[in-house]
Structure 1
């Protein structure tokens, strides 16, 4: 990404920043707007960005009520694509967010994935291994999305079908034909979601295992996925597996109605992470070890995406340098350089980035302005 422009986003009335460097460092005092800039960049992919905030919260207080994020994105050897995403939450449209690519309306936000892939790591993710399973599912789905652009749409369609089934089960008079149709839809989508997750876990796990020797400051992790379907053989023909899932949903209607929710499916999946060198669950590792594991996962996946898609991802690392000693900091900079990805980093102390100051785009952030 070579340029970023904002209007009425968070604490920025307007902004134009040159971002044409391997490393883009945003430094300044707490509360100056560094993470807001990362959040803006994170909207160059489908979803609600790295904070998962509402659009109303992203709009500048006292502004127009909407906002825009615009970027010049260079993928591979192609010319820059002008990507403009506009949010107008007060106009009552089915979707308040629209996308234009080189001034032409895009079919959907998923079109962004043809131009850039994004990965991020924020302080809010520090409790990933000890928090609820839903956090790890969202983390895994973000990894899957960078490899499989259809994953997000499948997940949204599955959630919609599941909510429809749950509402129907709660009614006194239930239409069995309608229920069967929703269950068949959930079976097909749910299997596709489970398969995409399993493939990502397998590929990333193999890469991490291969790098175990000499893993350096970022320890290797072992990944294990529970699909949410209990014992289910994903290696069988898809049609056969879908039929089994649909039959299990039909036979489980009474239990699901009593529980008030669907008890089986990819929405119940669990990702388990193990510290390989210590052979212990990541949840039991020290805070520092968990942070190092998470960084190692993100860096390994960035390499997997770059090699698989031919589209090196953009990394957004919020307040990363302050939590690393000088050796790990140097290792992080070196790995990012070797991966050939672009990396945005934030920090309060400019000196933390002195090792890359000569090549990085160093931007001082101060109360909604940069210099």
Structure 2
């Protein structure tokens, strides 16, 4: 799998860009602020319908423009597909596949799969649980696009349940009897949708564990072994949640019943996959707060490499994107990471200076300067 053509219109700093790519290694080199990351971000957006840099679509549209267009041609098993995304902040985005309109953008998920390394990845280890939940869910969707629908269903239920709790909480705090006539119905919906998402996350963590340990060992000899576990807000502290979906739904129902008074006091849902965490340990200590900077980077890279290996095992190499990551690594970690990824079908690298790019990743080079991209 590889991207053969990328076109942008009013995306970030680009009024227009037209770039032809090939399998193998391509590097984008230029000073910071010239538009390198915008190019690889756009490719990642086609794969995930989201940016690794911002939470909303508004910054993706060039200042003064109403919308942005990202168009990518993807070659997979000698078949070519063209994906076009129209980004409309404040309105519904639109998607086309081979010029035919899609009913909704998520229908194009799975056609292009990417694994993206970026300086922001350090948050996988040092950041809030939401960063790690996002990592798991994006990997789930990349492997099986139907999970985009599962996530959307869960988020819809959560939004409705939170609205009910907020209204009921206002009455509860005034010592009035709140109207909870529909809360049990939303509990059932949350338990059903949450159990499906939770079961998939638990299975994914089990698959990731040996791959993360292997990748970490290949990146560094410092610390280890890395151990992954899943902390569920529905399970008692320190308890492993069951893997069975039916048992997970029962677990969520019980936890929701037990948290009712506290939820009414706070007006928000306190139980469910949206409150869970992927726990990362190193040397039997929590990586967050105990791992050194170098160990944290190795852990974050190992998570991404493990995701790459899972996707590769499904039959196709995902496109590997290394966005200015080498500037954050010492020489030995640069070399080891480059050695690990250089045989992927397509590797896209961005760097501020050529010397940041390991010799193992020499390939086609593009110079990016003031929004102009030129092959050199």
Aligned to 1:121: 117
Aligned to 1:328: 333
Deviations 1:29-48 (A, max 9, x none): 01101111122112113442
Deviations 1:3-42 (A, max 9, x none): 1110001110100111213222111001101111122112
The answer to whether the Cα contact below 8 Å between 2:67 and 2:89 also exists between their aligned partners in 1 is yes
Q: TM-score by structure 1 length?
A: 0.88
1:190 CA displacement: 0.7
Q: State the aligned residue count.
A: 359
Aligned to 1:195: 199
Query: 2:188 is paired with a residue of what secondary structure?
Result: helix
Aligned to 1:227: 232
The answer to whether the Cα contact below 8 Å between 2:235 and 2:251 also exists between their aligned partners in 1 is no
Aligned to 1:215: 218
Q: TM-score by structure 2 length?
A: 0.87
Where does the alignment leave 5 or more consecutive residues of structure 2 unmatched? 172-176
Query: How is 1:149-188 mapped onto 2 (pairs within 5 angstroms)?
Result: 149-169=145-165, 170-171=167-168, 172=171, 176-188=180-192
Aligned to 1:313: 318
Query: 1:345 is paired with a residue of what secondary structure?
Result: strand
Please say if 1:74 is aligned against 2:75: yes
Query: How is 1:292-311 mapped onto 2 (pairs within 5 angstroms)?
Result: 292-307=298-313, 309-311=314-316
Please say if 1:134 is aligned against 2:130: yes
Aligned to 1:271: 278
Give the RMSD, CA atoms, in angstroms.
2.4
2:96 corresponds to which of 97, 100, 111: 100
Query: 2:347 is paired with a residue of what secondary structure?
Result: strand
Where does the alignment leave 5 or more consecutive residues of structure 1 unmatched? none
Deviations 1:324-360 (A, max 9, x none): 344432322221134x3422221111233362565x2
**Distance between the aligned counterparts of 1:167 and 1:87, measured in 2?**
28
Deviations 1:174-231 (A, max 9, x none): 554522221111001111111111111100102234567x634377622111122114
Please say if 1:289 is aligned against 2:295: yes
**Distance between the aligned counterparts of 2:203 and 2:137, measured in 1?**
12
Judging changes above 3 Å, is the alpha-carbon distance between structure 1 residues 178 and 324 closer, same or farther for their aligned structure 2 residues?
A: same
